[in-house]
Amino acid sequence: MDTLRLHMWLSVWVACSRESGTPLCDPLAVVAVQSLEDAKHFFWLSIVSCRSLFPLLYQAQEYPIKVLLLLLSTILMFTGFSALFDADKASEASKASALGKGGQSKKSRSTRAKKRGFAFGWTVRAYLLGIIIVELWGQFLYPYLFGDKFPFMPIMMVSVYCAFGIVYSWIWQMRSILVLS
């Protein structure tokens, strides 16, 4: 697992372009099914890297296709990871009750289960909401307010916003590598 994380970190330095999120996702996809934290990070990073590729398909007739593909992959990943890690939680709960450790109240068990599920913290949720805001601004509000003036601005906003997401991913990976070392 350390080798995959190291490969992921080094691939960032090789691919210094808009597609730099894609090489990060490849090795992370292998370890995403092993732990909940890696699965959450892979889910989030795949959305960011897919969104960062949107400006490469710039024609108006391509827009619905790329949005539908992003939504479809997001829904499938969320469903798959939720099922995988909810099944893990259920098997852990049945083992704990079989061992006689089930003496907790229902309220504390449900609270702990919610915390351990496939849910994100406020930072990731805020970032994903920001992707939607940047998309709405670039596709609808910017052309309405500014017309043809500075046509590169929406693309630049997407690139900069996704770059912040990729940098966050690099920091997360380095932190996890250093913690495991």
d(CA 72, CA 46): 12
Residue 40 lies in a domain: yes
In a domain, 103, yes or no: no
In this structure, is residue 100 part of a structural domain? no
- Which residues, at least 6 apart from 94, have a Cβ–Cβ distance to it below 8 Å? none
In whole angstroms, what is the distance from residue 153 CA to residue 146 CA?
Answer: 10
Domain annotation covers residue 101: no
Closest residue by Cα to residue 18 from 171, 174, 155: 155
- pLDDT top residue among 145 and 32: 145
∠ Cα 35 97 82 (to 5°): 30
CB contact at 8 A, 176 and 5? yes
Give per-residue pLDDT as tens, 105-114: 444 444 444 4
| Bigger pLDDT: 25 vs 117 | 25
Q: Is residue 81 part of a domain?
A: yes
Write down the pLDDT at residue 113: 41
**Number of separate domains in the chain:** 1
Which pLDDT score, from 0 to 100, does residue 23 have?
65
Q: Is residue 137 in some structural domain?
A: yes
Rounded mean pLDDT of the chain? 76
**Residue 154, domain member (yes or no):** yes
3-class SS at 79?
helix
| Domain ranges, residue 84 | 2-88+108-180
